[in-house]
A = this chain, B = another copy of it.
Amino acid sequence: MLKLPGLIDPHVHVREPGATHKEDWDTVTQAALAGGVTTILAMPNTKPPIFDEATLNLALDAAKAKARCDYGQYIGAGPDNGDWDKREALSLQAAGLKMYLDSTFGELRLDDMSLWTPHFQKFPKDSPMVMHSESRTMAAAILFSTIYDHPVHIAHVSLKEEILLIKAAKEKGIKVTCEVCPHHLFLDKDLTGFKNLSGLTSGRTEVRPRLATPEDVQSLWINLDVIDCFATDHAPHTLEEKDSDNPPPGFPGLETMLPLLLTAVDEGRLTINHLIEKLHTNPKRIFNLPDQPETWVEVDENASYEIKASETFTRCGWTPFEGWQVKGKVRKVVLRGKTAFEDGKILAEPGCGKNIRS
């Protein structure tokens, strides 16, 4: 039996408020615990988006009532809320600032770089800033980081050009960190990794950033040392939505991340130390998270099983890794001295999760 620290997933779409038919604070934290994750950081692009005191409280109140593991809630950067110097207390309640620099929508719309400036200037220097920024937009975000002297964390790196540029920036001493999602390590645009191709709708391969080329995937594996964190970008949508004419992008990931990575360990593609570093030590440091005393995850390294959506806790009811044979099963999760998950059963109660910023 392998004992791991409580894992941290810094990139989760909880869907509450606004789309609880896909997921809510209860189901998402059940999925987290089943995946060995004891802390999730929730993204702010909900309905409504989280961008001010009222909307932050909306999310935090729901979390407080329902969450079964620890959590933080990002606040989103918008065109009109860059005056963080006037709202420092609010900014310190958030897990960090999320900036959507590529996709542009509603209150979190930031398509003009001039709108980035106040956020970089005024968000508290010691608080995390996370960028959705692909390709050259990512490079632009790193330049802003350099000019305004605020570290940035790059979400869901998927391309060779991205990981190589982050490597070069780190070598130059620029304060940039990054995360990579399992689906960008195990799936590609040629549909490598998908089982049962005959039943695969195009919607079930839609994710942002898109699945990349095999060369991109290979570059992530080659540059494992440049990757600070693994993160799921858990983005549940129902199968009905995914199989519709206008499928929303996004995959669930909380329950498949650890078994996929443990299988890669078994295959010699990475080490247990890599896992602990990228799923605990690094995210704890980067996101300035408190200790979770008496917290651990027990894994049966030798248990082989098949991934089945029917056995998951996420409300969305499917996984792109359906049918994968994996090796390494979460047996037990202990959170602050109490058994939260054991042998396939959630034991933690709703509301027992703590806000990492309180």
Contacts and interface: CB of A to CB of B under 8 A. Distances in A.
Interface of A: 101, 112-114, 117, 135-137, 139-140, 142-144, 146-148, 160-161, 164-165, 168-169, 172, 174
Most buried by B among A161, A164, A172: A161
| Assembly stoichiometry (copies) | 2
A65 B172 CA distance: 46
Given A139-B144, A143-B143, A143-B146, A114 B172 contact: no
Given A143-B146, A147-B169, 9 more contacts: A101-B136, A112-B160, A136-B140, A137-B140, A139-B143, A139-B144, A140-B143, A143-B143, A147-B168
A131 to B, nearest CB: 12
Contact of A112 (B114, B144, B161, B174): B161
A114 B114 CA distance: 26
A255 to B, nearest CB: 34
Nearest to A133: B136
B117 A168 contact: yes
A160 B114 CA distance: 8
Contacts of A148: 168
21 contacts: A101-B136, A113-B136, A113-B139, A113-B164, A113-B165, A114-B164, A117-B164, A136-B136, A139-B139, A139-B140, A139-B143, A139-B144, A140-B143, A142-B143, A143-B143, A146-B146, A147-B165, A147-B168, A147-B169, A147-B174, A148-B168
A113 B136 CA distance: 7
A100 to B, nearest CB: 13
Given A136-B136, A136-B137, A143 B161 contact: no
A116 to B, nearest CB: 9
A254 to B, nearest CB: 31
Contacts of A174: 147
